[in-house]
Amino acid sequence: MSDILVKIRDLHFSRGNRKIFDGISLDIPRRGVTAIMGPSGTGKTTLLKLIGGQLRPDQGSIEVDGLNVHQLSTRKLFELRQRMGMLFQSGALLTDLSVFENVAYPLREHTKLSDAMIRHLVLLKLNAVGLRGAADLMPSELSGGMSRRVALARAIALDPMMIMYDEPFTGQDPISMGVLVSLISELNSALDICSIVVSHDVPDTLSISDHVHFISAGKIVESGSPETLQNSKSAWTHQFIHGDADGPVPFHYPANPILDDLYQEGK
Amino acid sequence: MFGNLIDKIQHLGVVTLGSFQRLGRAGVFLLEVIASCTDLLVKPTLLVKQMFSVGVQTLIIIVVAGLFVGMVMALQSYYALVDFGAEDSVGVMVSLSLLRELGPVVTALLFAGRAGSALTAEIGLMKATEQLSGMEMMAVNPMRRIVAPRFMAGVISMPLLATIFSAVGVLGAYVVAVQLLGLDSGAFWSQPQNKVDLYEDIYNGLIKSLVFGLIASWIAVFEGYDCIPTSEGLGQATTRTVVYSSLAILFMDFILTALMFSK
């Protein structure tokens, strides 16, 4: 079995006239936490949707566990997705089902387990994210952080080989953030799986990652371990990690010289 | 000036092409939905749940509207017929109008406004909150679990609602014509008994309502599934559901009437 779980080669993807990926290639190992980082709007979420087969690339290939995602039949793709978990930014819980039923949903859909067995499994998964006591609540009664933890319990319901996290820390208070950071790290170690974390939250993401890829303007800017990247000589990487207002990513959106614009307005 | 004209022609071309593309997408979508309905045989509870929210919860507006339409029809036809001494025909006139036209059409228009808009909003909101994407990533096809049950519930509910609308309408007409205006009860009931034909009137009315149910449900679920997942996009989709459904129902009513009742 190859150590590489996700193999992306020469990936091109555009939305309208806007190029999102311009020939990126990267490997994601079978074990450990891999972070995909970059400024907002660089296509990090799009990359997860491409890996999950929800979007189709213009050119290039994505292999997951040796299977070319975009050449699979719908049935085979759905079989592959049963081995993938995905945590959406919003949680994406089904709002008409309770917390318990949300976690039970993939089990009821894809297994023929008895109700008693499903109950045991769901309670164990909810216990793993610390929300066994919230099993009877509805999604509308949960905070943002709790919703993501329930979604995480649902994502691990079928014991997947990989979990993709789409901006898991966005909009979280420090305590929820700490809980999610340690959950992602601990679940990854306990389940010994591949976790792909897409985020622009530098310190927390680097603290739990084994491998990091920085993406900007449709290209991979730099890859390596968190330590390597923190000591990188690249001006772009330095600006991103330290959050500098100006640098290779300019403060000003491209525009004409200000005097030209002001003069034209006056005329 | 020419540049402006060319821009307008170009815009017209873009809009026309966009409309045809959307129509094509809606056609493919309908085929996918129909193919996905086979799952409902395995999981009928999905359909029953949707029949409740699409059908049963629309019942009140249908009953109330049916009652008043029947009552108004009785009043109007009584005043028109009494001058000719033909007021005994109020019963048959109201019955035929309801069974052939008003039952299916008014029910479908009310359905599009009440249930159709709700379906669009529900599916559109599920899209905006990534619930549909979440299902896809759980290897669950939202077409089978979300769209197909709602579509089929609409198709099945419509003829039942139209039947109830017509029945309540005739009762409303009876109350006005017999109880208030003093028409003979026997005359009121016997004429419809003789004149209303099972095939030509009742079955044709049911076929109409089935077709309207299909159109209204198709438009509602497609608009929800295809909407731009923002609050503005959702609002526009809901409006389009009501407008397109109403126009499509009235257009199809003309076509079906011409086919069914032409001599």
SS3 B192: helix
- Asked whether the predicted pLDDT for residue B215 surpasses 80, the reply is yes
- pLDDT given at position A163: 93
CB neighbours of B175 closer than 8 A, spacing ≥ 6? B71
- Reading the block at residue B238, the tokens are 């809901």
Q: Is the ipTM of this complex over 0.90?
A: no
Give me the residue from B131, B136, B140 closest to A109, CB to CB: B140
- pLDDT given at position B1: 65
- Rounded to an integer, the average pLDDT of A63-77 is 93
Phi then psi dihedrals of residue A196, to 5 deg: -110, 115
Segment 52-81 of chain A within 8 Å of chain B by CB: 52, 54, 74, 78-79, 81
pLDDT per residue as tens digits for the range B12-26:
999 999 999 999 999
- pLDDT given at position B236: 95
- pLDDT given at position B241: 96
- Give the DSSP per-residue string, B108-125: HHHHIIIIIHHHHHHHHH
Residue A267: pLDDT band with limits 50, 70, 90: low
Number of C-beta neighbours around residue A265 at 10 A: 7
- Percent of chain B at pLDDT > 90 equals 85
DSSP-derived letter for residue A34 is E
- pLDDT given at position A266: 53
Higher-confidence residue: A251 or B222? B222
- Percent of chain A at pLDDT > 70 equals 99
CB neighbours of A245 closer than 8 A, spacing ≥ 6? A251
pLDDT per residue as tens digits for the range A27-56:
999 999 999 998 888 888 899 999 999 999
Higher-confidence residue: B241 or B41? B241
Residue B261: pLDDT band with limits 50, 70, 90: confident
- Asked whether the predicted pLDDT for residue A116 surpasses 60, the reply is yes
- Kindly list the strands in the beta sheet with A219-224, ordered across the sheet, starting from the edge strand earlier in the chain: A84-87, A162-166, A194-199, A32-37, A211-216, A219-224
* B208-227: burial string, b at 16+ Cβ within 10 Å, e else: bbbbbbbbbbbbbbbbbbbb
Sole residue written with tokens 């790290």: A185
DSSP-derived letter for residue B89 is G
- Chain A nearest-CA distance from B52, in A, is 15
- pLDDT given at position A232: 84
- pLDDT given at position A2: 76
Query: Are B130 and A84 in contact (CB < 8 Å)?
Result: no
pLDDT per residue as tens digits for the range B153-187:
999 999 999 999 999 999 999 999 999 999 999 98
CA proximity to A35, closest of A164, A170, A133, A132: A164
pLDDT per residue as tens digits for the range A211-263:
999 998 888 888 999 898 888 888 888 888 888 877 777 777 778 888 888 88
- Asked whether the predicted pLDDT for residue A1 surpasses 70, the reply is no
Cβ neighbours of B135 in A, within 8 Å: 94
Selected for mutation to probe chain B from A72, A78, A89, A125 (highest B CB count within 10 Å) is A78
Do B236 and B227 form a contact (C-beta atoms < 8 A)? yes
CA proximity to A131, closest of A153, A102, A116, A115: A153
- pLDDT given at position A41: 82
